[in-house]
Structure 1
Amino acid sequence: MSGRVEELNKNQKSINDISQIYGISSRTLRRRYEKRNQLLVTQGKHPTLGFENEKRLVSHILKLGDAGFPPERSLIRQLAYQFAEKLGLKYNFNNETKIAGPQWLKSFLERNPEIVVRQAEGLSIQRAKGLCRAEVAKFFDLLITVLTDNDLLDKPYRIFNMDESGVQLNNKPGKVLAKKGTRAVKSVTSGEKGETITVIACCNAIGNFLPPVLIIKGNTTTSERKVRRNYTERNEC
């Protein structure tokens, strides 16, 4: 029933059309439709921008998010003020800061549950460009071509992936017990910064790993023995 009422709200079909298609009483549909709209209007005060203009603002927010530029809460409050000014609406926003209040934003989010507050993650321009539909389709077309040309479609054991990571040789202190009120608690380590080595790992598509490769600082085998000795001593402790 709720899905049919939603069709009415989106003006997709008339009450009589939905009644005939789904075999639902037109009287019941009309009652549920009017009850839903009445509930929507009576949730607090009538919105400053109006329901129709709020939907336009929601659409704008969603478009910005799809483009990779989701707006912050402060920007939405500024847009609400500018919107009300441009349309000549009556409002109680702050004329000095030219921004809608936090209570307006809270009510706006309650009336439009398709918009939520989330912590954004950084995305470089290079990665953003690679996320477009054309680039993704191009990548998978190229992948199929490479797998086919090299006879790898049914041979996952021949598909390998390699990656490298930096590892510091010094141990990282964990949480310790100390006197209450102590601001700085020191714990002895093998070095404050430690020497960084590079670990190269490689495995295939069925989970078989090759022995890792370590790239260490030094030009002689003495450096290798030093790394091996430090690793052994740390594990024995």
Structure 2
Amino acid sequence: MAPTKRMLYSEEAMEAAVKAVTERKKGMREAARHYGVPDSTLRDRIKGRKSMRKIQRTALTSANESRLVSWLEESARRGFGRTKDQVLNSVQEVIRDNNVPTPFKEGQPGDKWFQGFLKRHSKSLSIRTPQALGSQRAAVTGGKIRGWFRTAHAEITKENPDVLNHPERIFNCDESRFQLAGGLVKVLAPKGDKRVSSDARHA
């Protein structure tokens, strides 16, 4: 018989699931799915039976993971999508600053923790390949473009009121020959976002 796959979850997640069921806010299966805990273990907890399964604590508490998710979402929306390595380095700093005991080498989680983190927050985050845009271009909106043209029009006409009446005297230049966003790597971004950009580059 193939070995069963052990689910990774935190004690805080289990306690939250128990509370949701006992307060009749969620059904058993819904709470287990929402908090990422085994429904059989949740059922045992509610019935007062001690589970034989050993809980594997996550590196961060549920609250800290929620803050990490919010930071990743906001970073991506600002054009600074974070890579896997950047996430692991950030978690290492939190663990080190708070003296959190972990089995990780030098306090940094590895691929197993990262995959578990993605699974726990699969409704919020996904791994994406960003567009080849720098953060400045990623932040451009229609309103900003119209504002730029208004400012440009005012500045040009102030210097030479007649120049805009002669389009043959206007030349367009862009940054096509300048590499603003280097070799892009995959980043974490809010699930469903249509535009994903990043300043992250290959080392």
Question: With structure 1 as the length reference, what TM-score do the two structures score?
Answer: 0.40
Question: With structure 2 as the length reference, what TM-score do the two structures score?
Answer: 0.46
Higher strand share: 1
Q: Which has the larger radius of gyration?
A: 1
Higher RCO (CA < 8 A, seq sep 6+): 2
